[in-house]
Chains A and B, each alone.
Chain A
């Protein structure tokens, strides 16, 4: 894929505080990339630099191959959607959406037509005369969205646009935005700290930590093949177990846990025998059986607690040296505390992480 946006060794300091550190990131045309990370990890800052509200301390931002560091915001042609919507309180919904077109000096008739189309796209045509204050949160959000899209920007930037909405509305909007992305072929950079939002919506997810990208990949990659301990722990829930590599065969490694048990695990990076590593095992990939089955990995454990959580059963286990958690489908039978069970999982459900 041709690269459309390129962050080239971007560093940003606020005074002595390094907020973004030597960051490289490429985004393709038509791609939906989420920036995911904990609070204060520099996501907004990166977005603000892309929009031109902030200047990088060093490094270049390239758009379509040309550096845009010196281009002021209003000439960058990027639609920005803020968490707080930032609608103009003194203009009606229609005037809000017309604003970017007026700034581009379009004719009255064309503006009217495109505003109507943009409002229609988010099903707000009936409310064009209202003031933003007379709209619900979701409606305001849709106005902000259509305002950012109406001028067909080269890139759409969204900073936690759904953060202020309730769960149901948020899920509806997630689908709507995804749908728009597909229909219009938009390039979208989307900031969120909600991992499920990032996983459901994006083509690729960039996981941020302390101003750096820990991992970038498809939702499946960052979830199933976490590259670092941070990613494994930040995205979804995981069991982290310490061990030493004994042998490596192709994409699999033999790891001896501190309890002495032997585990065969998938490896994505390079590891050498003798190295201390972590194993990440997703709780929902763990199966519980009373007899030792034929799974590649099988740990002897005892149930310490089990909690029914509606859509799944959450079982806490104690292996000789490690606590483990398993999430079982709701059809699973109950495991009362004290039950001796085997925790079984395949080599592919387990990842070696170099600390």
Chain B
């Protein structure tokens, strides 16, 4: 059937288009050459060594971890608390507040970056970790809000009422019922917040100083200025981490599905 063949070809080509670039970059991480081209002359781990031991890259990785951790903590706490507050239908302007919480996802990063630089300069927070963490939190918090709100919406309110009637104080209801049930949402929100911070370049360009160069920022300028296979090594780590996190998420989902 020609129709079926057309469909098959189209789907295969699109999958190739989507996935091939990511796969093509992987072997280059292990090249011994200084240029990023095929064929690979011989295999070596020198670019991973570069990544972990060259000063610029190592500092960038450490910075990314510091800033990513800070962002994750701040965004998860703020976002989770706000999502809990948003549950109350009696809140005025609930819809508006919720839109405000999601808007940082929409506003172009460069626009936010310009404003952020002006503002943080006023506070004397440019070129500081605090400034970068704040900027990253602004764009990471919508992911936490979306994911926690989703998890909270899945909780049957009567379960919480039942807990109350069984003698649980509001704090106990929260600790023993609401939080455990919302935990998957909080966890995936935290993962997304970390990933957002890790990948954030534009805001970092605007608010970070040379001492807060993150891995993404370092990759950006190395692609721009002197591209080397260290990029491929970094990409390898990123993709491996993505797949591992993806697998963890899928596995924990299916474990959760069993539990429910």
Contact = CB atoms under 8 A, between A and B. Distances in A.
Note whether A and B contact each other (Cβ less than 8 A): yes
A27 B22 CA distance: 72
Given A131-B259, A133-B259, A104 B167 contact: yes
A89 B181 contact: yes
Interface in A78-113: 78-80, 82, 84, 86-90, 99-100, 103-104
Nearest to B160: A86
A210 to B, nearest CB: 25
13 contacts: A74-B165, A76-B165, A80-B161, A86-B159, A86-B162, A87-B159, A88-B163, A89-B159, A99-B163, A99-B176, A100-B167, A103-B167, A148-B165
A74 B259 contact: no
Interface in A235-258: none
A147 B168 CA distance: 13
A148 B164 CA distance: 12
Contact of A99 (B156, B168, B181): B168
A79 B165 contact: yes
Interface in A148-169: 148, 151, 157
Contacts of A72: 164, 169
Contact of A53 (B164, B172, B173): B164
B81 to A, nearest CB: 21
B158 A90 contact: no
Given A51-B161, A88-B163, A89-B181, 16 more contacts: A53-B161, A53-B164, A72-B169, A74-B167, A74-B170, A76-B165, A77-B167, A80-B165, A86-B158, A87-B162, A89-B159, A100-B166, A103-B172, A131-B259, A133-B259, A148-B166
B167 A151 contact: yes
B177 interface: yes
Contacts of A104: 167
B167 A133 contact: no
Interface in B168-204: 168-170, 172-173, 176-177, 180-181
B224 interface: no
A73 interface: yes
A78 B169 CA distance: 14
Interface of B: 156, 158-159, 161-170, 172-173, 176-177, 180-181, 259-260
B165 A88 contact: no
Contacts of B163: 88, 99
Contacts of B170: 74
B168 A74 contact: yes
B172 to A, nearest CB: 6
B183 to A, nearest CB: 9
Nearest to A89: B260
Given A88-B159, A89-B159, A73 B164 contact: yes
Contacts of B169: 72, 74, 103
B259 A86 contact: no
5 cross-chain pairs, A with B, having the tightest CB-CB distances, nearest first: A103-B167, A100-B166, A86-B162, A80-B165, A86-B158
A74 B164 contact: yes
Contacts of B173: 74
B250 to A, nearest CB: 20
B186 to A, nearest CB: 14
Nearest to A104: B167
A279 to B, nearest CB: 44
Nearest to B157: A86
Nearest to B168: A103
A196 to B, nearest CB: 26
A131 B166 CA distance: 19
Contacts of B159: 86-89
Nearest to A97: B166
Contacts of B168: 74, 99, 103
A270 to B, nearest CB: 43
B111 to A, nearest CB: 42
A75 B170 CA distance: 11
Residue of A75, A89, A147, A157 contacting most chain B CB atoms (<10 Å)? A89
